[in-house]
Amino acid sequence: MLERIKRDLKAKLSARRYAHTESVVKTALEFLAVYDRSAETHDRVEIAAWLHDCVKELKNDEQVDLAKFYGIEVHPEDIASPNLLHARNSAAFAEETYEIVDPRILNAIREHTLGAPEMCLEAKILYLADMLEPGRDAAIKAKSDPNASEINYSSELDSMRALALAGKIDEALLAAMNSKITYVIRKNQPIHPLGVLARNYLLLSSLAT
Ligand SMILES: [Fe+2]
Ligand SMILES: [Fe+2]
């Protein structure tokens, strides 16, 4: 199945998105090795990472239409930023096209942008790998002047990587969610409720232990 998925993605995605996807697979498997070395989890993370952005390059109105087609709840915050739907749409597309039924694979794809309460290991790994794959830094540098906030962001990513590789996955995840939500606030955009639920769940469960 993986060979078919890779062939389809190569034909469908831009070179930049394909390279990002390849890098997410590699980073996800590096992070995973710290937590779980079983073949089953490895395979689940690998498949989820390959498919995580499979419909990301659709246009805004196509994302909204696809979500409606799949019966996915579309929030007002999705209408404001339809690209946020790509994770939920990619999961539905992967389920339909590749007949993936494993909920851990589907949840990992679905939750890779906003997170969710009670994320499984595969979902946490994919969320972090998507944000922390090395191409992210290159993308930031290519875009930016040597501007203080971007340099800070690069070092923020480094500290999240260090946490993920040190076995502190929930700390890495909370830092990642805080960083994303802070970015949304800085841009004065609405915060998606699913991201708030995910972050609060993680924070409250870490306080409870
Ligand atoms: Fe994505
Ligand atoms: Fe991605």
Which tens digit of pLDDT belongs to each residue from 170-207?
999 999 999 999 999 999 999 999 999 999 999 999 87
Tokens of 19: 């390279």
Report pLDDT digits (tens) over 41-71. Answer: 999 999 999 999 999 999 999 999 999 999 9
Q: Give me ligand 1 centre to Cα 170, in Å.
A: 20
Closest among 56, 44, 57, 46 to 22, alpha carbons compared: 46
Q: What is the pTM (predicted TM-score) of this model?
A: 0.94
Torsion angle of C-alpha atoms 160, 195, 85, 142, degrees rounded to 10 = -30
Q: Give me ligand 1 centre to Cα 86, in Å.
A: 7
Does the structure show a pLDDT above 80 at 136? yes
Which ligand does the CA of 24 lie closest to? 2
Which ligand does the CA of 129 lie closest to? 2
Q: Give me ligand 2 centre to Cα 44, in Å.
A: 16
Q: Give me ligand 2 centre to Cα 56, in Å.
A: 8
Greater confidence (80 vs 153) lies with 80
Euclidean distance between the first and final Cα of the chain, in Å? Answer: 40
Q: Give me ligand 2 centre to Cα 129, in Å.
A: 8
DSSP per-residue letters across 160-194: HHHHHHTT-HHHHHHHHHHHHHHHHHHTT-PPPHH
pLDDT reported for residue 106:
98
* Residue 165 φ then ψ, to 5°: -80, -15
